[in-house]
């Protein structure tokens, strides 16, 4: 029970610390290591080109080079799909997506056939997905095959056809025949419209583009929010896939427009926090959507000769540790980076407030120092009134250059839960036995909680046991631990746990044995005393075996409850089992071998008599059919009879005792042979009847 209680206490402390550490962290080596386990090819390739693209794209973003391991088998599929005129638009799109990463040798003639196929698909499309695969495929052709003209002559008409699938709330339908709209489809539509703009041979009507921008802002009205400032889009495909689809669509649409998009900055940062808060997904699709969406948020520049800011790149404030040890004088460390962990521009970080559990501010407007070598902002000293406990640190990020304000965006204030830990002073620990009537001290002993088993007490049911202890923080304030227990364990393994409460400047517990004799099951004898004190802010939590107390309790009345059976050690099930002793049945006596042989001879005699009788009767085979068909039927009939006799012999012999041929198996085989004999026997009798009729007519 002691071991179980200590594990329970440690679990509570772990949960408390983990709750304090729920801060968004940028993509790190953990993601790169997990990617190699999530995207595992089968025999050097993936099941489909879609899976291959998602794996290659994710690994490329994370900087993991696996192209050489996958290029051989995957490129064969790419060339096969691009060279086949019957390939579906979806397969062509993913083949081009994979080809953009692996640079497969597809040949010059392939691009011309693909362009005509995709242009025809875009012209005849009725469904949003057909528009998406055709137009995004043409965009990929434009990027991969120089000298190829994948432009759309009727781009504005296609734009209007796609725009007709939009809804007033910013969501989109997959087809005009389906009234159900989807946020996921909206992301696909934005990507598709961006492709139409980039492939248009003439400028698209700006009023149409402005209508789409208005729809984008309306779509943000339906975004979901958590209390910590995290935003996400939800739909039937799930929040990760839906949010990733919208982000891909927004970045693509913003890249096609030189004016960019004026998106709400707090929601862009909130979307970044959502994907970082997911952690490391175990599903390959979710992993790809997370990494690809974060890559889209990180890359906001477009253009060759100058930068055009599509929308602001979110900067993430993270802490290597949200636990600060005051006894070790650890500094507060803060890092600011992009979502993929790239370095942030020149900026400053300020600790605006440090709020304690009561809401009072103990630190105000403290600017953090910067270490260029580790790219870390730190606060190396804390004010004198900074004590152990739980805090909420409020950070502000200030960009140094005004030009960067257009390229980057941060939260106005980032709130981070911090746990300050330290060594708690344990003083004036005493345990005493009191008289129940007047409360006078009969025996009292000082406790040295650094040693075990140093106390020996005795009491009866008319007395009380008092434990008192004083806990103070490094600043000398009263410390109230989250967990403080005193356990009495009888020599019969029956345990009783009591809560030590803090009142005033002391933590105290008084146990009145007179009112607890029934709870103690009237068990007299030796009780071990164990004290447990723990807290998430307490670095010197303890589990101390104080000693023991001899209790003299009244005898148990007849109707008093008995203690329940104590659970055995759960690990005892894995110990050695008791030896199983078994006496086998003595074999029955069998008759002599000679007697068995005599009976076997008597059984064989009828067969010998039957053969002798056949010879005496002058049996011959002159009437055996001579034609091939009739002879075959006769042979099969006699062979079937022989098979039935052989089956009987096998069943009778030891094959049955060896479980090779039981009664049910024999009956199944006999039924099959019976059907066979019925068929060939009927043919044989028919042939004999026909031959007899011929002789009579002759």
398-418 residue pLDDT tens: 988 754 556 888 888 999 999
- Which of 135-149, 519-533, 534-548 is the least confident region? 135-149
Largest CA distance in the chain: 139
Look at residue 259 in the predicted model and tell me its pLDDT.
52
Look at residue 107 in the predicted model and tell me its pLDDT.
67
**C-alpha R_g of the chain:** 43
Of 123, 171, 110, nearest to 151 (Cα)?
123
> What is the DSSP secondary-structure string of 114-167?
HHHHHHHHHHH--SHHHHHHHHHHHHHHHHHSTT----BTTHHHHHHHHHTTB-
Look at residue 15 in the predicted model and tell me its pLDDT.
37
- pTM for the model stands at 0.69
Look at residue 596 in the predicted model and tell me its pLDDT.
84
Instruction: Compute the average pLDDT of residues 337-360.
Output: 91
**Beta pairing class for 425-435 and 506-512:** unpaired
Please list, residue by residue across 232-255, b when 16 or more beta carbons sit within 10 angstroms of its beta carbon and e when fewer do: bbebebebbbbbbbbbbbbbbbbb
pLDDT tens-digit profile of 114-123? 888 898 899 8
Percentage of residues of the chain with pLDDT beyond 70: 89
pLDDT tens-digit profile of 218-247? 999 989 999 888 999 998 899 999 999 999
Q: Does the structure show a pLDDT above 90 at 41? A: no
Instruction: Compute the average pLDDT of residues 589-598.
Output: 85
d(CA 353, CA 350): 9
In terms of pLDDT, which residue wins out, 563 or 4?
A: 563
Q: pLDDT grade, residue 165 (50/70/90)?
A: very high
| Residue position matching structure tokens 């690809």 | 292
Look at residue 13 in the predicted model and tell me its pLDDT.
38
d(CA 692, CA 199): 92
Look at residue 538 in the predicted model and tell me its pLDDT.
94
In terms of pLDDT, which residue wins out, 392 or 402?
A: 392
Look at residue 399 in the predicted model and tell me its pLDDT.
87
- Which of 195-204, 526-535, 619-628 is the least confident region? 619-628
Residue 380 is encoded by which pair of tokens? 């190396």
Q: How far is CA 453 from each of CA 18, 211, 568, 615, rounded to the nearest angstrom?
A: 34, 80, 25, 106
Q: Do residues 184 and 153 touch, judged by C-beta distance below 8 A?
A: no
- Which of 46-50, 201-205, 456-460 is the least confident region? 201-205
Instruction: Compute the average pLDDT of residues 514-535.
Output: 92
d(CA 401, CA 341): 21
Instruction: Compute the average pLDDT of residues 515-541.
Output: 92
pLDDT tens-digit profile of 644-688? 988 888 887 765 455 567 788 888 889 999 999 999 989 888 888
pLDDT tens-digit profile of 270-314? 999 999 998 999 899 999 999 999 999 987 654 333 334 456 789
Q: Does the structure show a pLDDT above 90 at 323? A: yes
Look at residue 6 in the predicted model and tell me its pLDDT.
41
> What is the DSSP secondary-structure string of 576-601?
PPPPP---PPPPPP---HHHHHHHHH
Q: Does the structure show a pLDDT above 60 at 458? A: yes
Residue 204 is encoded by which pair of tokens? 């698209």
| 3-state SS class at 421 | strand
Look at residue 470 in the predicted model and tell me its pLDDT.
93
**Average pLDDT taken over every residue of the chain:** 85
Q: pLDDT grade, residue 92 (50/70/90)?
A: very high
């Amino acid at each position: 029970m002691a071991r179980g209680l200590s594990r329970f206490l440690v679990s509570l402390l772990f949960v408390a610390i983990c709750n304090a550490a729920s801060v968004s962290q940028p993509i790190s080596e953990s993601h790169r290591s997990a990617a190699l386990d999530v995207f595992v090819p089968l025999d050097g390739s993936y099941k489909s080109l879609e899976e291959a693209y998602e794996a290659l794209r994710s690994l490329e973003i994370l900087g993991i080079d696996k192209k050489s391991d996958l290029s051989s088998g995957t490129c064969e599929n790419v060339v096969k799909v691009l060279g086949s005129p019957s390939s579906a638009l979806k397969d062509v799109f993913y083949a081009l997506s994979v080809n953009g990463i692996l640079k497969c040798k597809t040949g010059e003639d392939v691009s011309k056939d693909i362009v005509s196929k995709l242009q025809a698909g875009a012209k005849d499309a009725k469904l949003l997905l057909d528009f998406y695969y055709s137009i995004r495929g043409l965009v990929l052709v434009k990027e991969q095959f120089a000298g190829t003209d994948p432009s759309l002559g009727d781009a504005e008409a296609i734009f209007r056809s796609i725009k007709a699938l939009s809804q007033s709330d910013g969501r989109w339908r997959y087809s005009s025949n389906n009234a159900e709209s989807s946020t996921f489809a909206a992301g696909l539509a934005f990507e598709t419209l961006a492709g139409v703009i980039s492939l248009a041979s003439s400028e698209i009507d700006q009023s149409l583009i402005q209508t789409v921008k208005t729809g984008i802002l309306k779509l943000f009205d339906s975004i979901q929010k958590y209390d910590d400032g995290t935003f996400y889009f939800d739909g039937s495909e799930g929040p990760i896939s839906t949010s990733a689809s919208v982000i891909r669509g927004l970045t693509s649409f913003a890249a096609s427009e030189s004016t960019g998009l004026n998106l709400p900055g707090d929601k862009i940062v909130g979307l970044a926090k959502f994907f970082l808060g997911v952690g490391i997904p175990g599903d390959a699709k979710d992993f790809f959507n997370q990494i690809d969406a974060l890559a889209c948020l990180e890359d906001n520049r477009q253009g060759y000769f100058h930068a055009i800011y599509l929308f602001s790149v979110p900067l993430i404030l993270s802490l290597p540790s949200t636990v600060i040890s005051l006894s070790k004088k650890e500094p507060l460390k803060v890092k600011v980076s992009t979502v993929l962990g790239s370095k942030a521009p020149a900026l400053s970080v300020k600790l605006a407030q440090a709020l304690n559990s009561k809401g009072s501010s103990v630190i105000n407007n403290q600017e953090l120092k910067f270490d260029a070598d580790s790219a870390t902002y730190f606060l190396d000293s804390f004010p004198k009134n900074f004590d152990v406990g739980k805090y909420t640190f409020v950070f502000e990020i200030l960009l140094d250059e005004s030009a960067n304000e257009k390229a980057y965006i941060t939260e106005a204030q980032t709130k981070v839960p911090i746990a300050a830990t330290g060594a708690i002073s344990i003083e004036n620990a005493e345990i005493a036995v009191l008289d129940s009537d007047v409360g006078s001290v009969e025996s009292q002993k000082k406790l040295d909680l650094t040693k075990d088993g140093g106390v020996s007490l005795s009491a009866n049911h008319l007395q009380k046991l008092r434990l008192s202890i004083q806990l103070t923080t490094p600043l000398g304030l009263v410390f109230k631990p989250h967990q403080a227990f005193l356990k009495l364990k009888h020599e019969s393994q029956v345990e009783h746990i009591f809560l030590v409460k803090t009142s005033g400047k002391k933590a105290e517990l008084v146990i009145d044995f007179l009112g607890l004799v029934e709870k103690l099951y009237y068990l007299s004898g030796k009780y071990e005393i164990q004290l447990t004190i723990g807290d998430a802010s307490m670095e010197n939590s303890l589990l101390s075996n104080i000693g023991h107390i001899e209790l003299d309790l009244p005898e148990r009345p007849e109707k008093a409850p008995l203690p329940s059976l104590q659970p055995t050690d759960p690990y005892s099930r894995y110990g050695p089992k008791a030896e199983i002793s078994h006496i086998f049945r003595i074999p029955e006596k069998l008759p002599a071998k000679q007697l068995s042989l005599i009976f076997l001879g008597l059984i064989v005699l009828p067969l010998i008599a039957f053969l002798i009788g056949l010879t005496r009767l002058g049996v011959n085979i002159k009437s055996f059919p001579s034609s091939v068909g009739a002879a075959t039927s006769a042979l099969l009939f006699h062979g079937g009879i022989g098979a039935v006799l052989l089956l009987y012999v096998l069943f009778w012999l030891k094959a049955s005792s060896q479980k090779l041929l039981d009664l049910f198996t024999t009956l199944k085989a006999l039924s099959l042979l019976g059907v066979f004999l019925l068929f060939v026997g009927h043919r044989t009798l028919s042939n004999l009847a026909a031959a007899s009729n011929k002789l009579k007519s002759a």
